[in-house]
Amino acid sequence: MKTLMRWLFDRPLKKGTVLEGRYRINRVLGMGSYGITYLAEELGRAGFRVIKQQRKTKAWTSAGRRSFNRKAEILRELDLPVAPRIYEVLHAAGERFIVMEYIEGKTFEDLLFYDGHVFDEQQTISILKEVLHSVSFLHRRGIIHRDLRIPNLIVSGGTIRIIDFGLACHLTERERVDDRHPEKRLMRAVSVKSDFYALGHFALFLLYSEFTPSGEEEKSWEEELCLSSGFTSVLRKMLQIDQPYERAEDIIGDLTSCTAKKMKQPF
């Protein structure tokens, strides 16, 4: 039923559609559970904008409307180089849109799966530290992202920026999380640990880029990846296998002290 409703009511805008006489839709960038994202031209001004349209089926629910308002509010609060700048919220033809800065660059999903980029342990540690500095700032502002995955971290001008704050919320909020799926519960929990958990999986995506399977037997990441003991310990805490971290600064400190030399493990 949900799929049918989306097909009937959540169809994306056509290329060339002009919103409020100012923004011309160029193409669809992505379609998520809460919204549809477009690349658009601002008429009379050079450059592009990203426009996020709330799905009609989400706008019918109080939770959906709350999520849309929360995203706009959080982006306004941040106003940081690490996050896309918000320009305005539009109400056009009975629908709601957020107009944001277009960040040109490549996501880690692009780098891994389209460019075939390979990341070793030292590069992964360096990337994690940079992202964690930004995440630490978010947390100090009382905000958690809750969706720090490879499509939502983008390399732009030599800097890693965070996009898609659709699931972000304040640490003071109370939100029901589906506890039937343990991984989803850990990723979406209203806690700083949810961001660390997501970044642990992000790191594994990078590390597996240089992994070549040696057989059909499925093994754990600790068995398959040749990582230093220090980095393995950090990842176990981020993934909440061991006592989890409570502060991004502690992770950064442990990553800094990690040995860059990999210790071979038997397979």
Task: Give the residue numbers annotated as catalytic, written as ranges.
Answer: 147
Give CA–CA dist 75/81, Å, rounded: 11
Q: Minimal CA–CA distance to 88: which of 166, 173, 19, 9? A: 19
Q: How many other C-beta atoms lie within 10 A of the C-beta of residue 126? A: 13
Task: For 144, list phi and psi in degrees, rounded to 5.
Answer: -120, 145
Torsion of CA 178, 4, 166, 83, to 10 degrees: 140
The dihedral through the CA atoms of 254, 80, 187, 119 has a sign that is negative
CA 54 to chain centre: 18
Residue type, 261: K
CA 121 to chain centre: 21
Give CA–CA dist 166/162, Å, rounded: 12
Give CA–CA dist 171/142, Å, rounded: 5
Task: Please report the beta strands in the chain, taking only residues with DSSP state E, as ranges in sequence order.
Answer: 18-19, 23-31, 35-42, 48-54, 86-92, 95-101, 106-107, 143-144, 153-156, 159-162, 169-170
